[in-house]
Amino acid sequence: MTEQGKRQRIARLTAVCVAVAAIAGGVLTGAPAQAATASSGCGLGGVALGSAGLVVAPIGCTTGSTTDGPAPMQTPPTPSAPSAPTVAEPGVPPTTEPVAAPVAAAPAPEPSAPTAGGIGTRGTAAPAAAPVADLDVVRSSPAVYPVRDGFRDDVRFAVHALDADGHLVPVTGTAALTRAGRTVRTWTLTGATSVLTWDGRSHGRIRAGVYTLHVSAWSADGSRETAVSRIRVVGKQLRHRQMMVRQNVGSGSTTAALPKRVAAAFAVGPVSVQVRTDASVSGPAALTFSNDGVTRSIRLRDGVHTTKRFALFKGFEKVAIGHRWAKGAAKLRSVKAVWSYSELR
């Protein structure tokens, strides 16, 4: 047989083997065909299936451990994770290091539930607010005079929420002002301190009497406290008065008591005095008003003269009036005190 005829026969046998292997085993493995070398004892020929994949060899010959004819189909190997490449040493068969399975990332920590004092994170919860233990209500005055004259026209209630240690603690709550069981005014409380202002009027009218403020407040932990305060509404009006009092004139000093109405005026406003003198003055001279270590001096002028008004401190219920001048420098004929004050009418 010629060389060309041999090649054509080998080609036909190869096609027959491929078709038989496909029918017997189904899908072929994807390993490339390996040509037999001269050392196998066979020349190029048919196709057989072995553990190494598809091998080209003459029919009836063996290649390595394969038997005559097509080898039975092998189950395709399960794909695995690719291994890291290794460098083979001379004379040592290459090995493949096993690849560790990927480790799942630890889940992120979940935020903790909100606490009473704020939003906390796991392990660092915010401390809860202290419970309210007392409500301290402070009035600006015990009475309010709603007539618009500048004297206690309104009243202010300062509400302070305190914990057991006396520290301020934020609260929410309400306050209601009542008289004879009827509500006159309401407020909303927020924070540790609330200031409530009232003009002393009930639905726009002045109704004299005693009013009661009811306060109720609670802290973030649910603790609740109440307090009560009272205020009196007075319908009187502030009126300004003047009173002139003649003082006895002596060579040294004299003690003059303030009129009772003037002494009572210190409770509602300032008290001031002007001094009207009638004197003959030829040198430096002064009158002194003193009480409990406090002294005020006014210059004594020749003739009839009225000093400027000056305010007196509360406590001047009794005033010692003296004079200070050299002998013969002045002769005082009369002294009159003009008191200016206010009273409620």
Domain ranges, ordered by start, for the chain: 3-56, 134-233, 238-344
The predicted pLDDT at position 50 comes to 44
> What class is the 134-233 domain?
mainly beta
User: Could you give phi then psi for residue 39, rounded to 5 degrees?
Assistant: -75, -10
- β-bridge pairing 318-325 and 171-179: unpaired
Structure tokens at 192: 């540790």
CA 307/CA 287 separation, integer angstroms: 11
CA 69/CA 57 separation, integer angstroms: 10
Taking CA 85 as the corner, what is the angle to CA 83 and CA 86, rounded to the nearest 5 degrees?
A: 120
The predicted pLDDT at position 206 comes to 96
User: Could you give phi then psi for residue 200, rounded to 5 degrees?
Assistant: 80, 5
The predicted pLDDT at position 59 comes to 42
Structure tokens at 227: 């307090």
The predicted pLDDT at position 19 comes to 55
User: What is the residue type of 251?
Assistant: S
The whole-number mean pLDDT for each consecutive block of 10 residues of the chain, a chain of 345 residues, reads 67 61 46 40 42 42 42 47 43 44 46 35 43 96 94 96 94 97 96 97 95 97 96 94 81 68 86 88 86 81 88 73 83 87 91
DSSP classification of residue 266: T
| pTM, entire model | 0.52
The predicted pLDDT at position 250 comes to 63
The predicted pLDDT at position 183 comes to 97
The predicted pLDDT at position 57 comes to 45
134-233 and 238-344 in the same fold: no
- Return the CATH superfamily for domain 238-344: Galactose-binding domain-like (2.60.120.260)
The predicted pLDDT at position 310 comes to 81
